[in-house]
Structures are given as structure tokens and as C-alpha cells.
Amino acid sequence: MSEIVKRLRDRRANVWEQAKELADRAAEENRAFTAEEQGTWDGLNGELDALDKRIKSALEVEERAKAADEAFERVAGKPAEPGVQQRQHTDEELRAFLRGEGPRAYEVKPTGPVNFRDLSKLSASAGANTVPTSFYDRLVAHLIETSAIMQSGATILNTASGESIQVPKTTSHSSAAIVTEAGSISESDPAFGQVTLGAYKYGTMIQVSRELLTDTGVDLEGYLAMQAGRALGNAFGAHAVTGTGSSQPRGVVTDATLGKTGAASATPAGGFTADDLIDLFYSVIAPYRMSTACRWLMKDATAGEVRKLKDENGQYLWQPSLVAGAPDTILGKPVLTDPNVPAVANSAKSVLFGDFSQYFVRLAGGIRFERSDDYAFGSDLVSFRALMRADSALVDLTGAVKYFIGNAS
């Protein structure tokens, strides 16, 4: 880790201590923030968010520098890792396609098994060093970066084709009871349903100037991977959170079960207390809580409210990470934020907690790129469209993921 990242991490810890001191003072005096204190609190939280982005950016720069060093070493004669020649050949084909020297369509597929959990962060500490940096990997990394569900440890099913697949859905478990001698044993079978995972098509169009295409100094593959990955990730990510299942994937909010309802007297309306989140935590049974994919999911604004909460011992529920690139935690479990989670309000499912490995994401095949020189001929722009097919649903409805809902009364 560089000195820059270490200094940013130290600054983040210092800002968090200032925010805690401000909240502690108001709590000790049993009062709400003054207008000046609220402004300071908002400023400190904004600085925390900005520092998170700077730390992430610094780690990405370090990773790119490392990749460049490795490339120079290969040029200098260092033996290539297994599979590198195949990836280079694929990259050459891709560049030829981008220049218009190949077919109109190009199917981008993984060159081997893809560990989507390693791809969930772009930093080296989260596994980026272990994943081959192909065009597909870069594109999927940007897709995952923009979708909290794809970062959450959801189960990824990557199929070669797009026909519908049936996945068993657990709705209740078997039960047992004491049986007297020679007594009959009651039958108790688990209840199953089926969820059908199809392949909804997501598409985006990107236009590139002819000059950008012919400039060999531009990382065109990286640019297209970033733009397409973010666009597809944002579109699919919204449905993965709140999708209805009608002509779109079923979102985790749609399929999650009730864990805790807020008080009618909550301020703000639909808000929660520290005890509410503790109750939500323990509404998920231990086997799910012990899963490595067990975590919290909420909006950024909701996370700002959680940062103010303390338990009965005066300890903050929110604990900032002291390791660059690692997520903050609530009650020891990682926190993910996603803008598509409902905001705090009456009857709103504003906080989710549970085992997200029970949420299945189906990706059908690779990502198809198509090129047109004619669509924007008058502007001398080359048009690329990226198409991805995906579906998703929660397959364990027995309480693997639960939500807090604001009281409606």
C-alpha cells in the first residue's frame, strides 16, 4: 500500500472521530443537533464519502501501474503467464473489430472460469491481482462496481445460451417433534416452488469519433468497457434491487421477507432506531448470519442516518473500516449502498439484511458488441451497441434476506 493511500486512510479515521465527537456531545446533552452542528455533521459525512472515492481511485491507479510494470517486464523478456498469449490474441481481434477491420458483431465471453466475487472490487486487495485482465473482466468489473447486488456475493449462473431455466425455490423447511413410543410420526416435507430465470435483454449505444478510433494512444478497449459496463450495470442493478418480476427481473426488495417494522412515532417518518436495526439483525437466523455473503444494503442517505446511531452501551453501530478497500460494518457485517434501495419513509423497505448468496443472478452467454459506420454517418461517428441478457430472483423465501419497513400509521 502506498503512502498516499495510508495518509488518506488516516485522514478518514480522523474525520470519523470528529463526527463521533459531535454526535457524542449532542447525545450527552440529550438534544438534537443545532443548525450549525447539523451543517458540520453533513460536511463530515460528505468528506467521508469523498475520501472513500479518493482511496478507491488511488488503489485503481496503483493497480494500473502494477499492470503496466508487468507489461514492460514481458516486453523485456520475462516469460508470460499461462494463457497470456491467448488473451493477447483476443485483444488483437477486438481492436481490429473496433477499427472496422472485422465482422460487424463481436461476442465478448470469458476466456475461462470467472470468479465474480473476486471481480466485486477493482482494488488489488479484493482479489483483482488474481483475475486475468481481459476485456471481458474489465467490462464485468465496471458492471459489478455500479450494482451493489453484484458486489453482495449473489450466486452467479453464467449459461452459454438464453433458454429459460427452472431453479428450485424454498418456501418452508421440514419440522420435527417428540414422538411417543410406538406413536405415529407426522409427515413434514419441505415446501418448494420454482422460479424461472429467463434472459431479459439490456442494451446501450455508445458513439465514438473517428479520430478517437484511429488514435493508437487511446485505451479504446478500456473506455468502451467502462462505458458499457456502467450502463448495463446501472440498468440491471435497478431491477436487481426493486424489479417487479413482470417483464423484468425480480428484485431482492420484492422477494425479501419482513424482519422489523418501525414505530409510528419515529422521526423522521418511517425512520428507525439502533434497537430496530439490532432486531432486524437477529430476525435473520444464525445459519444465514454466518454466511460470508451476509451483509446490509441501503441507500447512501440511509447510511448517513445509521452513522448517528448507538447501542445501549453507547457504542456506535456503524464501524468504519481501517483497511483501505474494505467495507464499513454494522454489528460486524459489511455495508453496501445502492441508490435504488427505497429511501426512509412510511411503508418503505429502506434497509435490507441477510444472506445474499440466496439471490441468484443468471447471465446468458457473453456480451455482444455490434458496430455501425452508417448510423451517424453525417457526424463521422462510429456507433457501438452492447447487449447483455440477464435475469435474477431470490430463491430462498424462508427468511434468508429480511427488510426493515417504516410504519405506515
pLDDT of residue 44: 85
Residue 33 makes CB contacts below 8 A (sequence gap 6+) with 22, 26, 41
Question: Per-residue pLDDT averaged across 209-216, rounded?
Answer: 76
Q: Packing angle between helix 3-28 and helix 35-75, nearest 10 degrees?
A: 160
Q: Give tens-digit pLDDT for 261-279.
A: 999 988 889 999 999 999 9
Higher-pLDDT residue of 213 and 232 is: 232
- Give the gyration radius of the chain's Cα atoms: 24
Residue 115 makes CB contacts below 8 A (sequence gap 6+) with 127, 130, 131
Q: Give tens-digit pLDDT for 127-155.
A: 333 333 566 667 777 777 788 898 888 88
- Give the range with max mean pLDDT: 16-20, 99-103, 140-144, 332-336: 332-336
Question: Per-residue pLDDT averaged across 298-318, rounded?
Answer: 90
Question: Per-residue pLDDT averaged across 13-18, rounded?
Answer: 85
Q: Which CATH class is domain 103-409?
A: alpha beta
Q: Is the pLDDT of residue 236 over 50?
A: yes
Residue 59 makes CB contacts below 8 A (sequence gap 6+) with 5, 122, 123, 124, 125, 324, 325
Q: Give tens-digit pLDDT for 393-406.
A: 998 888 899 999 99
Say what percent of the chain tops pLDDT 70. 74
Boundaries of every domain in the chain: 1-75, 103-409
> Which of helix, strand or coil describes residue 343?
coil
Q: Is the pLDDT of residue 80 over 50?
A: no
Read off the pLDDT band of 170 (50, 70, 90): low
Measured on CA atoms in the order 13, 16, 22, 26, is the torsion positive or negative? negative
Q: Which CATH class is domain 1-75?
A: mainly alpha
Other beta carbons within 10 angstroms of residue 14's beta carbon come to 12
Q: Give tens-digit pLDDT for 331-378.
A: 999 999 999 999 999 999 999 999 999 999 998 877 888 888 888 888
Q: Which residues pair with 261 in a beta bridge?
A: 405
Q: What is the pTM of this model?
A: 0.70
Question: Per-residue pLDDT averaged across 220-233, rounded?
Answer: 85
Cell of 133: 485482465
Higher-pLDDT residue of 94 and 28 is: 28
Higher-pLDDT residue of 16 and 114 is: 16
Q: What is the mean pLDDT of the chain?
A: 79
Q: Closest by alpha carbon to 294, among 333, 257, 256, 242?
A: 333
Instruction: Please check whether residue 374 is in contact with residue 189, taking contact to mean a CB–CB distance below 8 angstroms.
Output: no
